[in-house]
Each structure stands twice: as structure tokens, then as C-alpha cells.
Amino acid sequence: MRRPEAGAAVELDFPAMESLHSLDETLAALDAQVEGNYVFVSTDTVPPGLEPFAVIREAEGLTLIVKAADAFEYGMASDKLFARITPCAVTDLGAVGLTATISQTIASRGIACNVVAGFHHDHFFVPANKAQEVVGMLASLSEQARGWVEGKSANA
């Protein structure tokens, strides 16, 4: 693939991953897990030795997503603690609807949700005190989706 010229529109072709068949099947396989507590920190540089979960470059500086214990160790203050919830279902960057469905499910209960997409999984950061509630909501959503998938199979 050659590098596109500056300002040129780029057509992206996302090959479907074998593990993804449909939104319903992916929702049915969510198995969301809490992967620890994190904070979001704004800074100009990444301190030597710190290994952030994510680094986001913005016009105002860097946003680091850091394990809460590491942030404390490095003296990075934050008054908001987030739990990282990761659905175990392998997702595809070209998949349509999964992030929106999960985000809408969380938002429907008035819970804040910040999403970071990885190559294999989406990661949902929610207030730490709401983590178990969100995991329960996603388990219910997954159970519903299993019913939809089974209903489709029975009608096929």
C-alpha cells in the first residue's frame, strides 16, 4: 500500500475477522470483565518508567490513561477513578454497532462511559463505583443477544 498524498481521501478496506459474524453474535459473546482501576491524567510528557495503558495526543498536551496505583506512585493526582471494562469478544475495527450498542446501554442508566478502541477489543472506562452494575448490564445484554441468535438459528 503506498502512502496517500496529503489531503487525499483514503478508502479503507477492513477485512472481516473470522470471529465476527454479526452484531448479535458478537453481543452474545461479550463476557465483559473488569480489568482494573485507572485514572485519566493530562501532562506534557510521559514520565520515564511509567507504562500508560494509552497515550492520546491532543492540542493541549498528552492524556495518559494510567493504572490508579501507578498514578499514585508517580504523584499524578486525579479525583476521578475509572474501571476498565473489556468485552472478551474479539472485535473488528470495521465492525458497525458494537461500541454504540454498549455505550448506549451504559448511558441509558446515566453512567458516564469513555471508550478506547484497540485492534482486538474495545475498552470502556466507567466510574469505578459503577463497574459491577455495568458488568451486570452487559451480561444481561449478552443473554438477550444469545436469545436473538438462537431464535435466528431455529428459524433458519
Per-domain residue ranges of the chain: 23-155
User: Binning pLDDT at 50, 70 and 90, where does residue 156 land?
Assistant: low
**What is the structure's pLDDT at 18?**
46
**What is the structure's pLDDT at 138?**
96
**What is the structure's pLDDT at 15?**
45
pLDDT digits (tens, 9 = 90+) for 3-54: 556 555 545 444 444 444 588 888 998 999 999 999 999 999 999 999 999 9
Q: 149: Cβ–Cβ under 8 A, 6 or more apart, which residues?
A: 22, 24, 25, 28
The C-alpha cell that represents 117 in the structure block: 478502541
pLDDT digits (tens, 9 = 90+) for 100-153: 999 999 999 999 999 999 988 999 999 999 999 999 999 999 999 998 888 776
- Please compute, for residue 51, the number of CA atoms within 13 A of its CA located in the half-sphere on the CB side: 0
Q: Hey, is 57 helix, strand or coil? A: strand
Is the pLDDT at 2 greater than 60? The verdict is no
Which architecture characterizes domain 23-155 according to CATH? Answer: 2-Layer Sandwich (3.30)
**What is the structure's pLDDT at 17?**
42
pLDDT digits (tens, 9 = 90+) for 65-103: 999 999 999 999 888 999 999 998 877 778 888 999 999
**What is the structure's pLDDT at 120?**
87
What is the distance of C-alpha 79 from the center of its chain? 21
3-state helix, strand, coil in the chain (%, to 5): 30, 25, 40
- Global pTM? 0.82
